[in-house]
Amino acid sequence: MAVNILGISAYYHDSAAALVRDGTVLAAAQQERFSRKKHDAAFPADAIRYCLEEAGIALGDLDQVVFYDKPLIKFERLLETYLAYAPRGLRSFITAMPIWLKEKLFLKDLLKKELARLGDLKTTALPPLLFTEHHQAHAASAFFPSPFERAAVLCLDGVGEWATTSAWLGEGQRLTPQWEIRFPHSLGLLYSAFTYFAGFKVNSGEYKLMGLAPYGEPRYVELIREHLIDIKDDGSFRMKMRYFNYASGLTMTNRRFARLFGGPPRQPESPVTQREMDLARSVQEVTEDIVLRLARTLHQELKTDHLCLAGGVALNCVANGRLLREGPFKDIWIQPAAGDAGGALGAALSVWHQYLDQARAASAGDRMQGAYLGPGFSNARIEDFLRDQGIRYIRLDDNALMPQLAELLAEGRIVGWFQGRMEFGPRALGGRSIIGDPRNPTMQSVMNLKIKYRESFRPFAPAVLAEQLSDWFEQRAPSPYMLMVAPVKADKRIAMSARQQQLFGIDKLNVPRSQVPAITHVDGSARIQTVHPETNPRFHRLIQAFAERTGVPLLINTSFNVRGEPIVCSPADAYRCFMRTEMDYLVLENCLLAKSDQPEPARDDNWRQEFALD
């Protein structure tokens, strides 16, 4: 009999569910994709429902259900922290306690009630409910699907129960803890503190801070080292908590922090100044330094050439790129859903390999199936939807569709690309993407301002044919999950004039930097996704067709959504987003929709109120 294990992450941010059968990942998805609420923290009922449907089973057929966190240990940390900072944390304590006393302290009962309601079962008929520790789930999500038989595993995030940084040794089906750094000393929370201070949302604006960094100068690095964090040679660190408020207050930083950097935090949505750019560059450099030191320490301690990463800090693809180029490890593998969503998958794999002691065989590539683990929609279902809605389209087979799309893209058209199974994790990888021509010098600003409705400084990523990666970028290792940043090859770059080199900050944005300016960041780098025929054959074929038409084997690939909106999940989500933005064409599997064939959209931007700005 097959063993089915459901993993759940919930109640903090990015709730998700994952279903593993006999060690194989059958399905995984974030709740936000169904609820249409970004970073949804609610019980992931829709995601669980999808996982069960994909597996063809009912909830009562599950053998185990596992939650990615141990709430009682987390509560212990909260109490000890409040006591340590008393009476300063009183307001925060009063704010947090009601939800703990009402729900989180009784999480086991809450989960059972939710599961029973979902499965229409009595709680006594539910499968056994287990709990992993937060960093154990992260470590399992990083090592068990990786291609390595033996590897060091480094988990870096804001905080789990107590751990904020943890090191593990993965061997076969075993994960052995090595050491950890505990709250309040947290690299993730240091980065989030600067995210908050720069006027971006914590737990969603960290990408913006990373994207802003190349516009700035590292002029605060020494100030950070001197006042905010004590970094040892081995990469371990201690925060100087007198500058931070997150342990005892309701904000990330305090007045002392603001005085250190010459003024109060930037107000959200106000203009970004050179100070925020310099702060971003500075904390980015400090973060990279710590990650590199920790990696070198792990390499010396564990004597292995392979490293696995997970936790929210592992989504810092600039640090990851440096680790690959400069670090001591021969190869690195990063869980594509490195944040809390991936904890659902890690928890399920942890039960299979560690709790049930089932063997694991490392294999070439990895076991994530390209991260295409979400819902897919057949042409028949899509055509039913289009006909029901009276939407005009044409259906083309791939032999006709791919060359036509390549021509449209080369003409500067922007295309919504919806095909195959939805991605698991924060990145769109050619399943739910908006794509465009990277050679077009105006494409970055057009896509930012007229399609995504987001900040103009934010860079776009290239999706490049894996076999031509090293022709265009200073990297040879594959990067299928868009988690590595590497320089664009020197022979593809355009030298800046003396006048252009004098430019500062956002003025650099409009300077052509390479033959593919729309995906080349101001420092000449790009956040790479390698596209492989084994995991996404249709996206690979489309880029091939574009390369045959233009000589350039890459496309802009950005997530199929607007600012504040979760990535689209269904054909209805995709069509709605298509009609609200200035995309020119929409592809739903083999159905091609032209904007010019659709009814004139209502001149009403009130729909943007649906999504809170991230």
pLDDT of residue 445: 84
**Per-residue confidence at 504, pLDDT binned at 50, 70, 90?**
confident
469: Cβ–Cβ under 8 A, 6 or more apart, which residues?
475, 476, 478, 479, 528, 530
**Per-residue confidence at 1, pLDDT binned at 50, 70, 90?**
confident
Mean pLDDT of 593-613: 81
On whether the CB atoms of residues 335 and 144 are closer than 8 A, the answer is no
pLDDT of residue 166: 98
> For residues 528 and 260, what is the distance between their CA atoms, to the nearest angstrom?
36
**Per-residue confidence at 446, pLDDT binned at 50, 70, 90?**
confident
pLDDT score of 154 more than 80: yes
> For residues 43 and 31, what is the distance between their CA atoms, to the nearest angstrom?
8
pLDDT of residue 146: 98
**Per-residue confidence at 531, pLDDT binned at 50, 70, 90?**
very high
Collapsing DSSP states into helix, strand and coil, what is residue 41? coil
Mean pLDDT of 427-453: 91
pLDDT of residue 111: 96
Query: Which of the pair, 235 or 104, is modelled with greater confidence?
Result: 235
Q: Provide the residue type at 437 as one letter.
A: D
Mean pLDDT of 368-393: 98
Collapsing DSSP states into helix, strand and coil, what is residue 34? helix
pLDDT of residue 355: 97
pLDDT in tens, 170-225: 999 999 999 999 999 999 999 999 999 999 999 989 999 999 999 999 999 999 99
pLDDT score of 588 more than 90: yes
> For residues 453 and 451, what is the distance between their CA atoms, to the nearest angstrom?
6
Mean pLDDT of 312-340: 96
**Per-residue confidence at 453, pLDDT binned at 50, 70, 90?**
confident
Please, what is the average pLDDT of the chain? 94
DSSP notation for 206-230: HHHHHHHGGGS--TTHHHHHHHTEE
Residue 437 vs residues 16, 267, 447: alpha-carbon distances, Å? 33, 34, 11
pLDDT of residue 260: 97
On whether the CB atoms of residues 512 and 372 are closer than 8 A, the answer is no
> For residues 50 and 56, what is the distance between their CA atoms, to the nearest angstrom?
10
Collapsing DSSP states into helix, strand and coil, what is residue 514? strand
Q: What's the first-to-final CA gap in the chain, in angstroms?
A: 45
pLDDT in tens, 546-566: 999 999 999 999 999 998 999
> For residues 537 and 506, what is the distance between their CA atoms, to the nearest angstrom?
38
DSSP notation for 522-585: TTSEEEEEEE-TTT-HHHHHHHHHHHHHHS--EEEEEESS-TTSPPP-SHHHHHHHHHHS---E
Mean pLDDT of 132-150: 98
Residues composing the chain:
614
| DSSP code at position 399 | H
Query: Which of the pair, 327 or 494, is modelled with greater confidence?
Result: 494
Q: Find tokens 């922290």 and name the residue.
A: 81
Collapsing DSSP states into helix, strand and coil, what is residue 95? helix
> For residues 284 and 287, what is the distance between their CA atoms, to the nearest angstrom?
5
Dihedrals phi, psi of 149, to nearest 5 degrees: -80, -35
**Per-residue confidence at 612, pLDDT binned at 50, 70, 90?**
confident
> For residues 255 and 265, what is the distance between their CA atoms, to the nearest angstrom?
9
pLDDT of residue 503: 78
pTM over 0.75: yes
pLDDT of residue 498: 81
Structure tokens at 225: 């080292």
Of the CA atoms within 13 Å of residue 54, those in its CB half-sphere come to 26
With pLDDT > 90 as the criterion, what percentage of the chain qualifies? 82
pLDDT in tens, 104-124: 778 999 999 999 999 999 999
pLDDT score of 155 more than 90: yes
pLDDT of residue 209: 96
List the beta bridge partners of residue 239: 229
pLDDT in tens, 397-438: 999 999 999 999 999 999 999 999 999 999 999 999 999 999
> For residues 140 and 347, what is the distance between their CA atoms, to the nearest angstrom?
7
pLDDT score of 604 more than 80: no
Q: Mean pLDDT check: name the lowest of 139-143, 179-183, 510-514.
A: 510-514
> For residues 494 and 474, what is the distance between their CA atoms, to the nearest angstrom?
15
Query: Which of the pair, 361 or 501, is modelled with greater confidence?
Result: 361
On whether the CB atoms of residues 260 and 283 are closer than 8 A, the answer is no
Mean pLDDT of 337-347: 97
> For residues 339 and 9, what is the distance between their CA atoms, to the nearest angstrom?
10
Mean pLDDT of 328-347: 97
